Amino acid sequence: MNNTVKSPWQTVCKLSELPPGLFLEFRIHQPDRDPDTIPLTGFAFLQDGNPAAYVNQCPHLGVELNWMPGRFMDTDNLFIQCSTHGALFKPGTGECITGPCQGEYLTALDVRVEEGQVQIRFPD
């Protein structure tokens, strides 16, 4: 029997608030998480016209990817870039293609749009 309780969907913004090129940061609600630990954040953006979201955490050292609010892409605007050591990630899959965590992945969040609201949750 599977007793796994899926995390609830969390609304992060209206779809209309997520134009192409915008990266929206949000705090991930985790009621079971130790309140003394640093809260997890995520970011959402449009990928090929559909909302996508990842946990804002580099697989290399676990730090947040961006050092400026809403700035996640490299200068060519092709890849998500970690500001600490420059690792590059494919926006569509989260795969690191170069850098110290090459071959690892960003943690993708489940995303859905319900009544015009972008919602996320941790995958199974």
CA distances from 70 to 18, 23, 101 (A): 12, 5, 22
Report, in Å, the least distance between residue 69 CB and ligand FES.
18
Report, in Å, the least distance between residue 96 CB and ligand FES.
8
Considering only CA atoms, give the Rg of the chain: 15
Under DSSP, the state recorded for 28 is: P
Of 85, 92, 97, 114, the one binding ligand FES by CB under 6 A: 85
Asked whether position 84 contacts ligand FES by CB under 6 A, the answer is: yes
CB 51 within 8 Å of CB 111: yes
φ/ψ of 58, rounded to 5, equals -75, 135
User: What number of chain residues touch ligand FES (CB under 6 A)?
Assistant: 11
Of 6, 22, 33, 61, the one binding ligand FES by CB under 6 A: 61
Asked whether position 87 contacts ligand FES by CB under 6 A, the answer is: yes
